[in-house]
Structure 1
Amino acid sequence: MARDYYAILGVRRDATKDEIKKAYRRLARELHPDVNPDSATQDRFKEVTQAYEVLSDPEKRRMFDMGADPYAPGGGGGAGGAGGFGGGFPFDDIMNAFFGGQAGGRGGPRDRMRRGRSIKVRVELDLSETAFGVTKDITFPTAVLCETCQGEGAAPGTKRETCDMCQGNGEVSQVTRSFLGQVMTTRPCPQCEGQGVSIPSPCADCAGEGRVREKVTRKVQIPAGVDDGTQIQLAGEGEVGPNGGPRGDIFLEIVQRPHPIFERQGDDLHCTIAVPMTAAALGVSMTVETLDGNEELDLRPGTNSGHVITLNERGTKRLNGPGRGDLMIHVNVETPTKLDEEQESLLRKLAELRSENQPPGKFSPGQGNFFSRLRDAFNGAR
């Protein structure tokens, strides 16, 4: 005799999925074997469970409405398993009925709104911009909210609808038979991709995604003291998520362009200045370039090549602290390589006056030959 699963659960034939679940939970509390262990109640509980299993599955319910009973002999159902319960026993729904929780893989519909992707943008800056900070307009491609549908994904005048395959649950169940009995497997609904809703008329501008790609320009404040490779995070300024989800982040990667004069090392700047031999010997006043403008520098007489002149607080501003680095000016004394007869004569006369026409070779401490350095290393190791 054909069974009427609607009558078993006490619901109308046009009952919604929520009404069917509510009826089943009410009956499950009354008939559960832990509450009523007698055999008649167990048979009734089994019947109620089978009814819910059929009516809660859109495909099985459609088959039942057409006259097919999956639990009839030869219908792909049937009882079995321990304790007189079918292998497709929906244990997670029993847990829901008693504890309000979930057991197993049922997770409900997936959240349509997901966070957008974070993006990285390279920002090229001059040395002066990294040293003192700058406000910069940056342009980059990203995903923005679709203004036509405001992130809904549906064409104007339409709306999203409950998925007719999963009835808004986001998941579909399938019962298969094995040597252990019936096994129920649950997977995301292939029609709505687990979201529980479908869009019959997608927005023409975003194809139902709720966002579109375009180039945008942002005005950003670059702090003073950033260096090559520094990353700056702009929270919530990245791509809009699918279906109008929250934005990701933007990570600005600073790229410092090479400077023709200065080399940066941390907060300090280094440069090299070439000084003629005569100027180094006699001393000279000269103009040097800094990030703050030109400054006058007095080179004292007798300056040697390799001498370093430090200009305090002429480097870059410190990113995470007060003050600035220094400017290190490295002196390179140039020796002339081409002399005319008059210049050579004057230099020879100067060498004679200074008794330097045949200067003796001199060794400074630590400048010995290989064998002396090896001997010192050996003696130090003993």
Structure 2
Amino acid sequence: MSKRDYYEVLGLGKDAGEREIKKAYKRLAMKYHPDRTKGDKDSEDKFKEVKEAYEVLSDAQKKAAYDQFGHAGVDPNRGGHGGAQDFGDIFGDVFGDIFGGGGRRGGGAQRPQRGADLRYNMELTLEEAVKGISKEIKIPALVHCEQCNGSGAKPGTKATTCGTCHGQGQVQMRQGFFAVQQACPTCRGKGKVIKDPCSKCHGEGRYEKTKTLSVKIPAGVDTGDRIRLSGEGEAGDSGAQAGDLYVQVHVKEHDIFVRDGSNLYCEVPIGFVEAALGGEIEVPTLDGRVKLKIPEETQTGRMFRMRGKGVKSVRGGAVGDLVCKVYVETPIKLSDKQKSLLKEFNETMQGSKGNKHKPKEEGFFDGVKKFFDDLTK
């Protein structure tokens, strides 16, 4: 039976680059690998076909020969460039990070692994975020065992060379055509075994403990900011470097202010008389109350900017502003006398020609009249 085109096998075009070829092989090899398909003859044949195509197309010299002469250019029986490369080499190069092993090129026992990074979600009030604060937090994590100094062996003893892998940390498994290297099941890839484990960490070199840390939150942080505490993550394996702790900041909603970058926004209610005649009111800031002058004839929605009353960002720059948006409150629960006075006042508003006291209302109804006039034309 004639062989299928290698590009067709990998589902690629003739112009596929090295990255595309490797990606396609990785996807198909994962799909048809014998460890996943468990004795499916058709999948095993497809895996061999995919592997063969990748061996050729991933090698620049073989690929050039194949592109020029087809299968004949890489047929080892015709002096081409095809050859039996050990499966472990290819599989390790592409999948070493997935299956925890690697081809023979990796060699030797696994290196001690750096400790895992940890994340802690910290909720702050707006005041705490703006001014900065120090907080104590409790973190459950794997810590370095001080009794055995991270070796995992009982004090006075030490680990010995693994008899299964002879210190290599890897063993080779062969199943007919396939040869795959994997971590030694006896020493779990370390190359050494502990006969007398430490009583505190039970041979792991680490144990779980709840750590209490003091975290200094700098002034000006905002939701989404991260604070990195180097070396405060989990302890590394066999004395390796510890991971880091990342404190993720979330600022709670405030009852008065809304923050946008370095600026603060708030809504301020004012009375009907203050809006009409003007006056002075007190408005809140994060540093206390300040006076805000309201000019006469102020309308709902008008914005007032108070320079330097916002936030200084943790990233630097000038202090932001406080922007106050006023809205005019309609009086409620009026007495009979108050209602009578308002009616009398309203009559005085209608006395002059036009509606000069309510310019927006006049403009609105003029627009409504024009709208309906245009509809009837």
Structure 2: gaps (5+ residues): 1-83, 90-101, 356-360
Map of 2:141 onto structure 1: 142
- Map 1:246-257; keep pairs closer than 5 Å: 246-257=241-252
Mapped partners of 1:294, 1:274: distance in 2:
15
When residues 137 and 370 of structure 1 are mapped into structure 2, their CA distance, relative to the original with a 3 A threshold, is farther
Map of 2:131 onto structure 1: 132
Map of 1:299 onto structure 2: 294
Determine if contact 2:103/2:181 at 8 Å carries over to the other structure: no
Mapped partners of 2:103, 2:339: distance in 1:
97
Mapped partners of 2:176, 2:255: distance in 1:
77
Map of 1:315 onto structure 2: 310
Structure 1: gaps (5+ residues): 1-86, 93-102, 376-382
Map of 1:245 onto structure 2: 240
Mapped partners of 1:332, 1:104: distance in 2:
71
Determine if contact 1:116/1:238 at 8 Å carries over to the other structure: yes
Map of 2:163 onto structure 1: 164
- Report how far residue 134 of structure 1 moved: 2.2
Determine if contact 1:106/1:186 at 8 Å carries over to the other structure: no
Map of 1:349 onto structure 2: 344
- Map 1:49-128; keep pairs closer than 5 Å: 105=104, 107-128=106-127
SS at match of 1:194: coil
- Report how far residue 207 of structure 1 moved: 1.7
1:332 correspondence with 2:331: no
When residues 217 and 160 of structure 1 are mapped into structure 2, their CA distance, relative to the original with a 3 A threshold, is same
Map of 2:262 onto structure 1: 267
Map of 1:229 onto structure 2: 224
Deviations 1:216-263 (A, max 9, x none): 122222222211122223333211122222111222110112211111
Amino acid at match of 1:362: E
When residues 174 and 299 of structure 1 are mapped into structure 2, their CA distance, relative to the original with a 3 A threshold, is closer
Mapped partners of 1:217, 1:320: distance in 2:
28
Determine if contact 2:132/2:219 at 8 Å carries over to the other structure: yes
When residues 106 and 346 of structure 1 are mapped into structure 2, their CA distance, relative to the original with a 3 A threshold, is closer
- Map 1:189-208; keep pairs closer than 5 Å: 189-208=184-203
Mapped partners of 1:151, 1:173: distance in 2:
29
Amino acid at match of 2:227: I
Amino acid at match of 1:204: S
Mapped partners of 2:174, 2:128: distance in 1:
66
Amino acid at match of 2:121: R
Mapped partners of 2:296, 2:198: distance in 1:
80
Give TM-score scaled by structure 1 length.
0.63
Mapped partners of 1:157, 1:277: distance in 2:
85
Larger radius of gyration: 1
Mapped partners of 1:246, 1:366: distance in 2:
76
SS at match of 1:123: strand
SS at match of 2:362: coil
- Report how far residue 186 of structure 1 moved: 4.7
- Map 1:17-56; keep pairs closer than 5 Å: none
When residues 184 and 141 of structure 1 are mapped into structure 2, their CA distance, relative to the original with a 3 A threshold, is closer
- Report how far residue 187 of structure 1 moved: 4.1
Amino acid at match of 2:153: A
When residues 240 and 347 of structure 1 are mapped into structure 2, their CA distance, relative to the original with a 3 A threshold, is same
Mapped partners of 1:193, 1:370: distance in 2:
85
1:217 correspondence with 2:216: no
Determine if contact 1:160/1:199 at 8 Å carries over to the other structure: yes
Map of 1:36 onto structure 2: none
Structure showing the higher helix proportion among its residues: 2
Determine if contact 2:167/2:190 at 8 Å carries over to the other structure: yes
Mapped partners of 1:215, 1:366: distance in 2:
72
Mapped partners of 2:371, 2:350: distance in 1:
32
- Report how far residue 160 of structure 1 moved: 0.6
Mapped partners of 2:155, 2:287: distance in 1:
58
Farther off after superposition, 211-220 or 325-334: 211-220
Map of 1:154 onto structure 2: 153
Map of 2:278 onto structure 1: 283
Mapped partners of 1:369, 1:229: distance in 2:
51
- Report how far residue 149 of structure 1 moved: 0.9
